[in-house]
Amino acid sequence: MPAWVEAGFDEYARRMTKEMPLELVQVKPEPRAAGMPVERLTAAEARRVRGALPSGCYKVVLDERGQTCTTKALAKRLEAWQMDALDVAFVIGGPDGLDRSIRTEADWLWSLSPLTLPHALVRVLLAEQLYRAASILKNHPYHRD
């Protein structure tokens, strides 16, 4: 990842509270081979994604076809997950997207935007929105209406 992606993610992860830590777990993309269909690449990646998910976690898959929500609605979801003591895993697709099976196994299919965004940018945007939602719950002045 470019340095700006790591710096952006790290900045917002550092700001998260102890009660809502943000940890990044990267899954290596499948190496591209000449003639290998994208479906085969994403299926191999899906197996690694499943292996990286915490047992029993609530799976949020980011996909442009998912449900949108406001930051305040996200804050309410964070609060509910925290009250239910749920580990939440946010899954961002790689350059070839996510295997259909990962999307169908999601507890929530979430769209940050109807645009197709590069996965590096989504990482930073997700971290910022999680921090923003957490700051709403703490009545911190970061978020302004």
Query: What domains does the chain contain, in order, with CATH numbers?
Result: 3-25+49-137 (3.40.1280.10)
pLDDT at 144: 75
The alpha carbon dihedral of 131, 136, 140, 145 has a sign of positive
| Kind and range of the H or E run holding 63 | strand 58-67
The DSSP call for residue 53 is S
pTM > 0.85: yes or no: yes
* Residue 58 contacts residue 89 (beta carbons within 8 Å): yes
Q: Give the alpha-carbon dihedral of 117, 121, 122, 126, to 10 degrees.
A: -150
Q: What is the mean pLDDT of residues 27-55?
A: 88
| Average pLDDT taken over every residue of the chain | 92
User: 42 pLDDT exceeds 80?
Assistant: yes
What is the Cα–Cα distance from 53 to 9, expressed in whole angstroms?
19
In the chain, % of residues over pLDDT 70: 100
What are 71-108's pLDDT values in tens digits?
Answer: 999 999 999 999 999 899 999 988 888 999 999 999 99
pLDDT at 11: 97
| Tokens, residue 126 | 């997700």
